[in-house]
Amino acid sequence: MINQTITPRQAVMWFCLYQTGSAMLILPSSLATIAKQDAWMCIPLAIVMFLGVSTFYLAIAKQMNGASFEDYFQRILGSLLGKIVLFLFVLLFPYLIFILVLRDLGDYLTTSVIPETPQAAIYALMLAAVYYVVRLGATVIGRIAEILFFVVMTLFLVGFLSLFVNADWRNLLPMLEDGPKPVFHASIHLLAFPYLESVLFLFFVNQFDHAKKWRRIIVRSAILSGFACFIVTMMSLLALSAGVISNLTYPSYFVVRTISIGDIFERFEVVISIIWYISIFFRLALLLYVSVQGFAGVFRLKYPRALLIPLSLIAIMMAKVVWPNMAFLITLLQVWPYYCIIFGLLFPIALWLVGKVRLSGSSDA
């Protein structure tokens, strides 16, 4: 599982599907709640901010200097402290997100698509596939991403561009009604979720020849997924208006339900579920991959695969209890961006600073 190669092209597609995953379904509503009819402006703004953050990630990648991310912790923090910090980081960030995403998947499917299916069945089916693919390693995931990326993009464009028929441009007016502040606020939310999760891509740095190439990959994937988010948000705004989408649980799904062109081209909202299911698959695969790699680094495991089944089973149990009800989730989503900032920005800054101090003394290899 370790040191499996993945091409830059595959990585871009995988990371892009990762970023569109959870965000796409709820994004229009969470952005429109804050920025109202200006929600669409947040996306380019967040991407620009992310470009700045990515140069900072690049600095860390350079400090890693060819070692893996899990070794980097121990190199700069010492063996024991490095292991403890790495353990906490993996547990509280990728593995926690893994559980949350799983639950999110279950909630969405049982709310909108198949309400009578028990969530455990949904989790088990999805995890069986994720377990299998992570077991096979990054090369296989990369190839699947390469195939499914175009399926997702085609379905996506057909689904959302056909909303042009219902578009009403006046829904975007007035621009900046309450000044630029809400737009800025919403873009911080967007930057934090999902873009600051890109810190997890640091686990992949040593797969590429040099760190600059790695940065190019994450920037490209962010631009691609930003483009997708932009279309979703813009189309939902144009077709339904900000007021409507901010009160919907799953606006991207709802908005596609309203398409009806010539009484023939209609009722293909399941397409959204398919897109979402596929991208969630890649999201879970990446999160499990990273968690396994991280935990294996902590315990110096010879066969990291041994962790796959226990981690998946724990996730099934945890997914059931991770939040008690929908209202809790909605409150959680308001706090979540700050949580992401802690792990996606503040924590790497701390690491980098420590690294700067620790590594400057030793040889600048």
Residues within the interface to another protein (CB under 8 A): 111-118, 121, 170, 173-174, 177, 240-241, 243-244, 247, 254, 257-258, 260, 266-267, 269
Nearer to another protein, 5 or 111 (CB): 111
Q: Which residues contact 73 (CB under 8 A, 6 or more apart)?
A: 82, 83, 85, 86, 89, 297, 351
The CA distance from 359 to 56, in Å, is 17
Three-class SS state of 67: coil
From the CB of 112, what's the least distance to another protein, in Å? 5
From the CB of 185, what's the least distance to another protein, in Å? 18
From the CB of 310, what's the least distance to another protein, in Å? 23
> Which H/E stretch holds residue 75?
helix 69-77
From the CB of 114, what's the least distance to another protein, in Å? 7
Cβ–Cβ under 8 Å, residues 85 and 77? yes
Nearer to another protein, 146 or 266 (CB): 266
From the CB of 119, what's the least distance to another protein, in Å? 11
Find, among 107, 157, 102, 160, the residue nearest to 131 by Cα: 102
Structure tokens at 212: 């600059």
The CA distance from 363 to 365, in Å, is 6
Nearer to another protein, 108 or 203 (CB): 108
- CB neighbours (10 Å) of residue 317? 12
The CA distance from 7 to 216, in Å, is 13
From the CB of 83, what's the least distance to another protein, in Å? 39
Find, among 212, 280, 260, 211, the residue nearest to 25 by Cα: 280
Cα–Cα distances (Å) from 320 to 50, 61, 308, 335, 363, in that order, read 33, 36, 19, 20, 49
From the CB of 232, what's the least distance to another protein, in Å? 17
* 29: Cα separation from own chain's centroid: 17
Nearer to another protein, 4 or 166 (CB): 166
Nearer to another protein, 7 or 249 (CB): 249
Burial 39-70 (b: 16+ CB within 10 A, else e): bbbbbebbbebbeebbeebbbbbbbbeeebbb
From the CB of 243, what's the least distance to another protein, in Å? 3
Nearer to another protein, 188 or 242 (CB): 242
Task: Find the farthest-apart pair of alpha carbons in the chain and give their distance in angstroms, rounded.
Answer: 71
Cα–Cα distances (Å) from 236 to 20, 42, 259, 362, in that order, read 16, 14, 11, 54
From the CB of 329, what's the least distance to another protein, in Å? 16
Nearer to another protein, 4 or 241 (CB): 241
Nearer to another protein, 247 or 334 (CB): 247
Nearer to another protein, 140 or 244 (CB): 244
* 294: Cα separation from own chain's centroid: 18
Nearer to another protein, 65 or 110 (CB): 110
The CA distance from 137 to 9, in Å, is 17
From the CB of 115, what's the least distance to another protein, in Å? 6
Find, among 273, 319, 321, 268, the residue nearest to 112 by Cα: 273
